[in-house]
Amino acid sequence: MTGRYLTKSRFLLAMECPTKLFYTGKPNEYADQSSEDPFLAALAEGGFQVGALARSYFPGGHMIGQLDDQAALAETARLLQQENVVLYEPAFLYENLFVRVDILVKEDGCLRLYEVKSKSWNPAEGMPFVGKRGTLAAAWKPYLYDVAFQACVVGKAMPEFSTEAFLMLADKTARCPTDGLNRKFRIRRLSGSKAEVLIGNLSPDDLSVRLLTSVPVDTYVSMVVNGEGTKDFDSLGFWGVLRYFAECYAEDRKIPPEPGGKCGKCQFRSSEENGQKKSGLKECWKEAFGWRDEDFGQPLVLDLWDYRKKDKAISAGKLKVTDLEEQDLGMRDNGDDGRPGLSRTRRQLLQIDKTKANDDKSFIDRDNLKREMGAWCFPLHFIDFETAIAPIPFTAGRHPYEMIAFQYSHHVVEENGGVRHAGQFLLADPGVFPNYEFLRALKTELEKDQGSVFRYSHYENTVLNVIHRQLREDESPPEDSEELLAFIESISHSSSGNEYSWQGSRDMIDLLDMVKRYYYHPLTRGSNSIKYVLPAVLESSAFLQRKYAGEVYGAEGGIFSWNFKGKRWIEKENDRVKDPYLLLPKMFADIAPEEMEHLMSGEEENVIRHGGAAMTAYARLQYEEMQDFERQAIVDALLQYCELDTLAMVMLYEAWREEVS
Ligand code: SF4
């Protein structure tokens, strides 16, 4: 035994790209953007609570989890000598393949494996694992590969037993039977990523409705093992692939890279600034294409915004943005999509042209932007929401994994240019369902006038659609339910798939959409996240640099702020304006900067931002045992981050107003 085992997470990583096996687990050598604290990731996704709840459905089991691998194998083998037994996190080894099973039930000569997932499922919609053409559904493949890997290893390690495999998923249709169930699962961090779940007294009522359901998946496990419904194991077959990965990992042998579009999201693609550690992507591209360091000085084809033909371009040897031509974009009708401003392909072409011309000046479609801005009504309202999920509901009647809207920030701009931080909301008290109070507070702030309301991404609209449904389906709705529904319908529109249809007379205006259509700055390097757009706008706007250079923000007689006092937003380093997000205090004092960077990194449509740091902060406030001063520090940081998000929208507006006036 080498001790370098192929575990299920390494197997899944290798299924994304086999070369990743070589870079993983070397945190001092290779930069790894996904090396987020597993404790925080599990906390934000609800892994700890869901795992503990699942175990509550199989009482009387033995926990093996905290032991090291060899001790866990020995303890598992010892306990499995019992006729019937329930084990939590037992360990199994076959050849160089090692697994820990979430829950294992040994009964009547059968080993039943339960893999608990932080994922919800609607039983009314049937089995989602196979698509119409009989192929495994892409969204479920990692879950099925995971459980297939475990079932195979356990089956081979314990050949005298039959095995059955189950996924334990949150049942979207189940309603929590009691109030306060969520609060019965508290988390105490132990060393590293380890945590202890402190389970309060669970009553029979608490467990009377199963929020998690066991879905039998043997059929799909067989499909995976036999290579049916998937081409992922074509070359060697399932077992051949497992053995090949295990052998390469055991010998620390790199599987030759085959770069493609997948490299764009590779966690081993380090940023240029992170010179301390090696970049896996650079190694791969040097090896595959014979590149040298200087080749990485220009944007890669991976950096072209929303480019969906990366694989094709890379196979054709077009590796840099400057290698691309108009015909590589699949442009139709000369890029005209019938809407004002830049279409997707026109925007891509603009990025290519500016890169080729080494032009770092911004592009702004003044005419169209001016026309749009002329229709906006003052005062202007800029809002941003932060949300999380509650794997185990706070109150009776609610479903698992419901969206929790716990925070917003709100800036106002008057017609005379006056700016103020008009309001904010944060309700993260443990066990309190905040959505209706959140909505009530927002309504009070926005209903004072008929000014235009702005969001950055479709996300705020999605959140309001979710709260709309929660209100409609609530078995004991609040007294002001009708007013709240009417308010949602006034400032949003119904999402596709919503059985109710509405179009608000004051529907929020999406500034991200405005950016995509009318604005491009080369400094954003193809990202439209506000976290990239803001530094670019500040860098290029003399107006903003003048206005925010002094300590005016939050100063008496300056711009009103709820969370800052005399804040200066323009600070320069190497003659460049510093990213304002870097001027904020750290959200978590106990998190290393590179982990924080990952949590805060802005992505298109803000998915990561909304699912990242704020969600993690909320989860910590809900479930983690911590002292008051730690709690206060997280609350203060949340308020400042969210305020900067809406201030960033204001600054973008101000820069545009200067440009078009
Ligand atoms: S850079 Fe590309 S080829 Fe290299 S490990 Fe990452 S995804 Fe694989």
pLDDT of residue 611: 42
Question: Closest ligand 1 atom, CA of 260?
Answer: 2
Distance of alpha carbon 415 from alpha carbon 411, whole angstroms: 13
- Dist. CA 330 → ligand 1 center (Å): 26
For residue 602, the CA-to-ligand 1 centroid distance in Å is 21
**pLDDT tops 80 at residue 69:** yes
pTM: 0.89
Strands 453-455 and 509-510: parallel
Residue 174 has pLDDT above 70, yes or no: yes
b/e per residue, 235-252, with b = 16+ CB within 10 A?
eeebeebbbbbbebbbee
Q: How far is CA 182 from CA 186, 199, 206, 548, in A?
A: 8, 10, 10, 44
Q: Whose CA is nearest to atom 2 of ligand 1?
A: 263
For residue 271, pLDDT beyond 70? no
Window from 36-40, 394-398, 432-436, 443-447 with minimum mean pLDDT: 36-40
pLDDT given at position 193: 63
552-573: average pLDDT: 94
| Two tokens, residue 475 | 């078995």
Residue to mutate, 20, 22, 301, ligand 1, most ligand atoms under 8 Å from C-beta = 20
**Domains of the chain: which residue ranges?**
1-33+256-297, 36-238, 299-359, 371-510, 522-660
3-state secondary structure of 419: strand
Query: Ligand 1 center to residue 255 CA distance, Å?
Result: 10
Q: Does 604 score more than 80 pLDDT?
A: no
Angle, helix 366-374 to helix 511-518, in steps of 10 degrees: 150
Residue with tokens 């790209």: 17
Residue-wise pLDDT tens digits, 280-294? 999 999 999 999 999
Pick the residue whose CA is nearest to atom 1 on ligand 1.
281
What pLDDT shows up at residue 587?
63
Query: Given this model, what pLDDT does residue 186 score?
Result: 82
Centroid of ligand 1 to alpha carbon of 203 (angstroms): 49
The beta-strand segments (E) located in 475-515 are 509-510
CB neighbours (10 Å) of residue 632? 10
What is the pLDDT at residue 592?
46
pLDDT bucket at 2, cuts 50 / 70 / 90: very low
Q: Count the alpha carbons within 13 Å of 366 in the hemisphere toward its beta carbon.
A: 6
Residue 333, Cβ density class (10 Å: 0-12 exposed, 13-18 middle, ≥19 buried): exposed
Bridge partners of 124, per DSSP, are none
Closest CA to 386 of 610, 618, 620, 151: 610
**Shortest-distance atom of ligand 1 to CA 267:** 6
Ligand 1 pocket by Cβ (under 6 Å): 17, 19-20, 257, 259, 262-263, 266, 268, 280-281, 284
CA of 566 to the centre of ligand 1 (A): 46
- Is the CB of residue 137 less than 8 Å from the CB of residue 123? no
* Ligand 1 nearest-atom number relative to CA 22: 5
User: Which of 451, 410, 408 shows the shortest CA–CA distance to 426?
Assistant: 408
Contact partners, residue 31, CB within 8 Å, separation at least 6:
268, 270, 271, 274, 276, 277, 278, 279, 280, 594
Q: Which atom of ligand 1 is nearest to the CA of 16?
A: 7
Atom of ligand 1 minimally distant from the CA of 288: 3
Distance of CA 321 from the midpoint of ligand 1 (Å):
18
Q: Provide mean pLDDT across the span 41-67.
A: 85
Instruction: Report, as an integer, the average pLDDT of 234-258.
Output: 95
Q: Write out the DSSP string of 305-358.
A: TT-S-HHHHHHTT--BGGG--GGGGT--GGG--SSSS--HHHHHHHHHHHHHTT
